[in-house]
Amino acid sequence: MAKSSQPLRKPVPGRLFAAVKWFSWVELAVFAALLVFWLAPGFDTETMIFGWAHGLGFIALCIAIWVAVLRREAPYTLLAATLTPVGPVGSVIGIELIERRGWGVASSGKTGGRRAEKPV
C-alpha cells in the first residue's frame, strides 16, 4: 500500500454548504411549528401536516448534508450533529460553529484549502 504524501484534506464550504445552511434553518422552523402544534390541544390536522413536513424535510436535510460531506464542502461532524436526537437544532448549531469558529473546515480562499506559499 502506497503512502500518501498529504493527509486527508479538510472540506472547504461552497455553494452546497450555503444551501444546506438555508435548508437547516427552514427545517428548524418546521420542527418548531410541529412542537407548538403538538403541545397545543386541538391541532391534530396541523400536527399531522407539520409532522410529515418535518419527517420528509429531515430526511432530505440529512441527504443534502451527506452529499456536501462527499463533495468535501462540509465536515462529517455536521452530519453527526444532525443525526443527534435534537435533529435540525444540531445541524444549525454545527453550521454556526463551522462558520464562526472554522471547526473542521479549511479556509475558503483560492488556495483550495491549503496555505499559500510565500514568494521567495
Interval 28-42: pLDDT, tens: 999 999 999 999 999
* 36 or 16, greater pLDDT: 36
Interval 102-112 mean pLDDT: 57
Closest by Cα among 25, 104, 95 to 72: 104
In angstroms, the Cα distances linking 71 to 41, 56, 64, 67, 119 are: 44, 23, 11, 6, 31
Q: Using CB atoms within 10 Å of the CB of residue 40, give its burial: 0 to 12 exposed, 13 to 18 middle, 19+ buried.
A: exposed
**One-letter amino acid of 58:** F
pTM of the model: 0.77
CA angle 12, 106, 100 (to 5 degrees): 95
Helix, strand or coil, per DSSP, at residue 1: coil
